[in-house]
Amino acid sequence: MVLCGNSSDDLSQRYRGRIEKVKFGVPINEAFAHDIPATLLVLLLKVNKEGPLKKDIWRAPGNQAQVRKLSHIMQHGRLVNIANFSVYTAASVIKKFLSKLPGGIFGMENEQVLFNSALHNTDADKQRQVFYRPPIFTCNLHFRRSMLTTIPPMIQTLHPPPDSPASSPLGHPVAA
């Protein structure tokens, strides 16, 4: 059971069974004001763990009724057993959260730099700089550490760098 607030606080009973709310549609600095919300982090970890074993998790939609239900639960800060939801549903909720961020995950300015660099085939170093300065990395240190340990391995597993040898979804080398 998750307890929010000080245990000596008389109001602690009011917060029993509740966790921080996930705010959809607000700027990322506001959504992650203190830290990444626990349910969103658990969804990211679920996708990180189970995603490489599944096909097209970012393309295939999750069950829409479950996506709405899970989004509603997250917005109201209620406890939820993530094991009851498929990895496709988890990925759909993450996509929904990211798509509702005003300005996107990189911000309008950085997104424009990425598009221009892709169109003009500029060097990879400039693109890497954009990846390391999106708005999410201006949040607090604990949040940055959480994101840096969660997101890159997921992206690396799903899209290995072009200069690396071919690998399986689990990161093991594939014989040619």
Question: For position 170, what pLDDT does the model report?
Answer: 46
Q: Are residues 41 and 98 in the same domain?
A: yes
Eight-state DSSP code of residue 12: G
**Weakest mean pLDDT among 2-11, 61-70, 117-126:** 2-11
Q: What is the DSSP string of 70-136?
A: HHHHHHTTB---GGGS-HHHHHHHHHHHHHTSTTTTT-HHHHHHHHHHHHTT--HHHHHHHHTSSGG
111, with CB counted inside 10 A (0-12, 13-18, 19+), is middle
Domain assignment present for 171: no
In terms of Cα–Cα distance, which of 166, 169, 172, 150 is closest to 158?
169
Tokens at residue 63, please? 């069950």
CATH number at residue 88: 1.10.555.10
63 in any annotated domain? yes
Residue 47 within any structural domain of the chain? yes
Q: In terms of domains, do 97 and 107 share one?
A: no
Quote the domain boundaries for residue 140.
103-154
Question: So what's the pLDDT on residue 154?
Answer: 56
Which of 49, 54, 56 is CA-nearest to residue 154? Answer: 49
Phi, psi of 48 (to 5 degrees): -65, -35
**Single-letter amino acid, residue 124:** A
In terms of domains, do 51 and 94 share one?
yes
Q: Tell me: do 92 and 73 sit in the same domain.
A: yes
* % residues pLDDT > 70 (the chain): 60
Domain boundary among 59, 81, 102: 102
How many domains is the chain partitioned into structurally?
2
Q: What is the pLDDT of residue 125?
A: 75
79 domain-assigned: yes
Neighbouring CB atoms inside 10 A of 51's CB total 20
Within 10 Å of residue 32's Cβ, how many Cβ atoms? 22
- Identify whether residues 90 and 127 lie together within a single domain: no
pLDDT of residue 39: 87
In a domain, 3, yes or no: no
Question: Given a cut of 60, is residue 21 above it in pLDDT?
Answer: yes
